[in-house]
Amino acid sequence: MNARPSGMQEDTKEALDLEPIRATTRALCAKFPGEYWRRLDRERAYPTEFVNAMAEAGLLAALIPEEYGGSGLPLAAAAAILEEVHASGGNGGACHAQMYTMGTLLRHGSEAQKRRYLPKIASGELRLQAFGVTEPGAGTDTLSITTTAERRGDTYVVRGQKVWTSRAEHSDLMILLARTAPKGSLPSRTDGLSVFLVDMKAAPPERLRIRPIRTMINHATTEVFFDELEIPADSLIGEEHKGFRYILDGMNAERILIAAECVGDARWFIEKATHYANERKVFGRPIGQNQGVQFPIARAYVELHAARLAVAHAVALYDAGRPCGAEANMAKLLASEASWHAADTCLQTHGGFGFAEEYDVERKFRETRLYQVAPISTNLILSHVAEKVLGLPRSF
C-alpha cells in the first residue's frame, strides 16, 4: 500500500511520546500479514503465534506495574498498541482481553493474588483472557445473573452458565462474576455478586464444560457451563458481595481500548480505499477522480478524526484518574460508527473485489461490525447519555 494520507498519524505531543511503542507494534505486526489472518479466519483458529510474539515483546504487559513484571504504562500506551494492531490489518481481540481483564485482579485482588498471577500473566506464561459475566437470560442486565457460587468451608461451589465468553478455550484463567447472595436479599440492589479468579486448567472437564459458538467472525467465543465446580475460597477477588462494582470499575478501560481498536480499523479501511481509488482505473482514469468515490472516503476520514479526538479525551481523563464513564461510552460509540462507515465505504470503493478474500476487506468488514454490539450496544450508550448526562427520564 502507498503511504498513509497526510495527517493520518497526528503530529501531537501525545503521538510523539507514544511513537516508539507504536513503531514497535507496527514492526511486530508486519511479521503477521494478511495471509496469516485470512488463514486463521478460514480455520477459525486462535492467533497463538501472534499472541506469543506480543507477550515476548512485552506489549501485553503494558498496563501491569513494573513490580509485577510489566511496563507500568498508562492506558494511552495500551490504546496506541491496539490501534496499531488493527491499523496493520490484524485483530487485537485476544490482546485487549488480556490487557483489561487483568485489571480486575490488579485493582481489587489481594497482594498474594497479584504476586502469584500477575508476573506469569506479564511474561505470557499464563493467559487471562476469559471474562465470565454475560448469561443467556440476563444479557447486559448484569444484576439479573443467576450463576451462583455457594460457600462451603474452604471452597465455593459454582453452578450456572455463561455465554459469549470469548477465548475460554485458550485461556488458563477466567474472571468470573457469580451470585453469592439471593437477589434483593441485601440492603443495596447492587450487592450480592462476587468476583472470582478461576483456574480453568485445574477444573475437571465434567464440572466445567466449554461449547464453542460459531459466529460470522473468528472471535473464539463460547458458552461455559459450571456443574458443581469447586474452587478454593481464596479464588475470591476483593470483598464478597461487592463484585458488581469491581466489574463496573473495569468497563471504562474496556470501552476505551475497544474504541482505540475501532480507530485502527477506520485507519486501515481509509488507507485501503484511498490506495485502491488512486490505482484502480475505469474508462481510462482513476476511480478516485470521481466525486462519488472521493466524498464518502473524505467523510469517513472526517469521522475518523472526530473519533480519535474523542478517544484521546477519554484516555486523558482515565489516566488522570478522573471520572470518564460518559466519555468512554461516547468514544466507543463514535469510534465504532466511524470504523463501520469506513468499512462500508471501503467495500463500496472496491466493488466486487471487496468481497474477494485476498483483499482482506470482507474479513475486516465483518470484524469491525461487532463493535456496535459488543461489549455494549450503541442503544445502551445512547440510553446512558440520555439519562446520566442529559437528565432525561429513565426509559423502560
pLDDT at 97: 83
- Per-residue pLDDT band at 1 (split at 50, 70, 90): very low
Answer whether residue 5 shows pLDDT above 90.
Answer: no
At 310 the pLDDT is 98
Cell numbers describing residue 310: 474523542
Query: How sure is the predictor about 33, in pLDDT bands with cuts at 50, 70 and 90?
Result: very high
Question: Which pLDDT score is estimated for 358?
Answer: 96
Alpha carbon distance 294, 72 (integer Å): 43
If you average pLDDT over residues 383-392, what whole number do you get? 95
254 is catalytic: yes
Contact 244, 190 (CB under 8 A): yes
CA neighbor of 155 nearest in space, from 215, 109, 203: 203
Is the CATH number of domain 130-241 3.40.50.300?
no
Percent of the chain with pLDDT over 90: 90
Output 395 or 130, whichever has higher pLDDT.
130
Q: What is the pLDDT of residue 17?
A: 84
Instruction: Give tens-digit pLDDT for 173-215.
Output: 999 999 999 999 999 999 999 999 999 999 999 999 999 999 9
Handedness of CA 63, 145, 382, 393 (dihedral sign): negative
Whether 274 has a pLDDT exceeding 80, the answer reads yes
CB proximity list for 239: less than 8 A, separation 6 or greater: none
Q: How far apart are CA 353 and CA 298, in angstroms?
A: 21
**Range 9-36 average pLDDT:** 82
| Rounded (10°) angle between helices 361-369 and 243-279 | 150
Cell of 135: 448469561
Confidence of residue 6 (pLDDT cuts 50, 70, 90): very low
pTM over 0.85: yes
Sign, CA torsion 316/321/326/328: positive
Which of 84, 135, 240, 254 does the annotation list as catalytic? 254
- Res 247 pLDDT > 60: yes
Confidence (pLDDT) at 7: 41
What pLDDT is recorded for position 339?
A: 98
Mean pLDDT of 276-298: 97
Burial (CB < 10 A; 0-12, 13-18, 19+), residue 74, is: middle
Q: What is the pLDDT of residues 329-386, one digit of tens each?
A: 999 999 999 999 999 999 999 999 999 999 999 999 999 999 999 999 999 999 999 9
Sketch the domain layout of the chain as residue ranges: 13-127, 130-241, 245-389
Terminal Cα-to-Cα distance of the chain (whole angstroms): 49
Which of 314, 360, 362, 303 is closest to 336 using CA atoms? 303
pLDDT of 11 above 60? no
What is the DSSP secondary-structure string of 3-65? PPPTTSS--SHHHHHHHHHHHHHHHHHTTS-HHHHHHHHHHT---HHHHHHHHHTT-TTTTS-
Q: What is the pLDDT of residue 396?
A: 65
Range of lowest pLDDT (66-75, 92-101, 284-293, 372-381): 92-101
Instruction: Report the C-alpha gap between 250 and 98 in whole angstroms.
Output: 13
Res 2: pLDDT: 37
Q: Answer yes or no: CATH 3.40.50.300 is held by domain 245-389.
A: no
Q: Considering just the CA atoms, what is the radius of gyration of the chain in Å?
A: 22
The rounded distance, in Å, linking the Cα atoms of 104 and 117 is 12
Nearest to 333 by CA among 278, 375, 275, 362: 375
Give the closest residue to 54 by CA, choosing from 16, 99, 17: 99
Confidence at residue 248, expressed as pLDDT on a 0 to 100 scale: 87
pLDDT at residue 165, rounded to an integer = 95
Task: Give the mean pLDDT of the chain.
Answer: 94
Q: Would the pLDDT of 18 be above 50?
A: yes
Q: DSSP strand E in 236-375: where?
A: 236-237, 281-282, 285-286
The span from the CA of 300 to the CA of 306, in Å, is 10
Assigned C-alpha cell, 176? 468470573
> Under DSSP, is residue 253 helix (H, G, I), strand (E, B) or coil?
helix
What torsion, rounded to 10 degrees, do the Cα atoms 104, 67, 49, 79 define?
60
User: Was domain 13-127 assigned CATH 1.10.540.10?
Assistant: yes
**277 vs 295: CA distance, rounded Å:** 12
The torsion of the CA quartet 315, 321, 322, 326, rounded to 10 degrees, works out to 50
- 10 pLDDT more than 90: no
